[in-house]
Structure 1
């Protein structure tokens, strides 16, 4: 984060940036961080409910442990969350003794419904941006094009996962026949579970509403920060900046989208008439709450968790034998 601040300082008004940065009060920052903790809790709750739907036994605290570990992994790998989701699938297998097919089904179902919720929220923001802002057409094309590419990527991925007509494509993967059969089993089980979820309208509606609520909290956190910094733009403008910047950060260029999120947020804020210094301060504080705070929290959690394991193991080893 220090490196990003130094880079920003080279092309923004440093005094204006520092002044704006200092406008955020500690209580407001703590409130934003608390909302981020609530977000983590809601995500874990959603995993549990989806696990119950798939007849998987999952407890809240272990799911929170898995999510924190997955968050740490995805924060240090430039893999569009693939690293974090793979970690979650492996931990579901090891901690809850689920099969790889069951674990992948749960991870895939949660990520699919979450992505649908994200597309709805970002789509509403993009529509508002294109229709009700008087910014240059070039900036509108950038935002609209980015959203279209994201939707195409998600729909293509869903089609690859859900279509029964492309099993031949999976069969072309150059792996051993035994592993190929296992892969097909995983894909078929995921397809069946997702189709069942779509048919169960009540379950799908509840999970989609929960996803919309989780994504709405991202915009609420951004709005709280924007108001504290004195940004003279509305809720939808801040929501747009948050969702589009997050979308761009998902492109696997840097670990956790570091730099790409901040750059897009500053670009969008600038197109909405926000001074660069204010936009940079907003981007860094929002990024701290939604990325660095969670990353440091997960790193601290894993450090304490492993330290306790080592201490417990050593104390058990050093204990005198009763014989």
Structure 2
């Protein structure tokens, strides 16, 4: 059997207002803050991780807190983040909640083979709530303001925009072993969207590629997505992916120790940053599951700088 990615691991976006970001994702969306740490390459910035009640791989939505202006939307970018819920009934529940919270939201409808509801966060990041029909395990957070049956179950699909499909498709299918499936018109009326599947498929394991040559290149800022990560079960599998990228002469970061997982970064031909990350060891490696996210966590190589790092961070509350 060929080397396979098993789905979406996490997605990292950019916020310019960490306190409001924390409020929206925990209180409005009902996600759990499972890790409060810093960007390991820029310790002046928070790196906030939101996930389900068990901090499961495939549920992590993370943010770098950078003092930047708003994103300029366009192609060569990740344009829509899918968040899975368990049913069409949950979509209706969320529509009412988002409207009541004055969150910009569209109408429930069929998009790309799934029942879905589009909305935006306060900084303009574009999301799509997707009904996955209750497939797979769910791990609700018992302290969420959202009822367990309607809580966000995880990530996927993720939609990227490119001006030309050919080179991106070659990397997705020949290098990353994704399967090309269906296609559908982009809901925004700009171009066609092509669906690529990983592992067992389904919303948690789909990357949607919108081909949009009429758009100008995006410029990252608040409300933009920085990168998307795909799942590798363990470190041995990640070694195989590292070797595979080398065999295809695809430039990469080499393996990077992120403490909570091990990562490999590279850019697809249209410049979008991809990551392959291991499922483990996970967020309980340095604090108990019961108290995840309650204090600033630092990996061992930064622990000696805790006092100076904490002094440079803005309060979240």
Q: Shorter-chain TM-score: what band? A: under 0.3
Higher relative contact order (Cα pairs below 8 Å, separated by 6+ residues): 1
The structure with more radius of gyration: 1
Comparing both structures, which one devotes a greater share of its residues to helix? Answer: 1
TM-score by length of 1: 0.26
TM-score by length of 2: 0.26
Comparing both structures, which one devotes a greater share of its residues to strand? Answer: 2
